[in-house]
Amino acid sequence: MLGATLNPKDYLDRCSEVFDTLDLSQIEGLSNDIYEAYENDRFVFIIGNGGSGSNSSHFCEDLGKSTLNREDFLNDDKKRLKVLSLTDNTPYILAWGNDEGFDRVFVEQLKNFASAGDVLISISGSGNSPNILNAVEWANKHDLTTWGITGYDGGKLQGLGQKNLHVPLDDMGMVECVHLIAFHWVLNDCYARINSCGRYEAAAK
């Protein structure tokens, strides 16, 4: 934990440095796949454990609600993004975890909900969580688009996910912070596309 040895300025400076190391095409690619799922009426599933589980819930809520204009909240005909965080289905998680093992809590939900052409976004700072890896392995075999959102050295997930957003930093808290900032940009970009307004290409001209 870098914050145990760094003062606030040095901690924030170290966190800032990692932004220059990111492959920005990965962040754009994640937005592209989410928007494509919206266009094609496909589901986006998000999974993660611990802080990454919280990011999963946060990202899901943002994508589900905040891709809408306020004027469309009560518009029953407005097309919406189909997005679900599998970290939030507590009864499913407890049932599968108790009866079959915690490594099954996500993959078994996918078997109920997922179809070919859907998107699975798997968030794991270490990239080595067994329940994440099982879900991605199943999704790959069943023609979902799979994303691994990782930190550290990427772990097994970086090789298993079809696509990756990797934060090369050996501190879980910072990794989770950078993931969330990237997710907020993806939200903004999807909002702009869904509502046909203000995308950065147009703003740059």
Dump pLDDT digits (tens) for 147-194: 999 999 999 999 999 999 999 999 999 999 999 999 999 999 999 999
Residue-range domain boundaries for the chain = 2-68+78-195
Would you say residue 78 has pLDDT above 70? Answer: yes
Q: Are 133 and 160 in contact (CB under 8 A)?
A: yes
Mean pLDDT confidence for 102-123: 97
Q: How many CB atoms lie within 10 A of CB 107?
A: 22
Residue 104 pairs in a beta bridge with none
Which tokens in the block code for residue 126? 């270490």
Q: What does DSSP assign to residue 22?
A: S
Class of domain 2-68+78-195: alpha beta
Q: Are 116 and 143 in contact (CB under 8 A)?
A: yes
What are the angstrom distances between the C-alpha of 125 and each of 47, 113, 129? 12, 25, 9
* pTM score of the predicted model: 0.93
Would you say residue 204 has pLDDT above 70? Answer: no
Residue 110 CA to residue 136 CA, distance in Å, equals 10
Relative orientation angle of helices 24-39 and 172-194, to the nearest 10 degrees = 50
Q: Are 30 and 186 in contact (CB under 8 A)?
A: yes
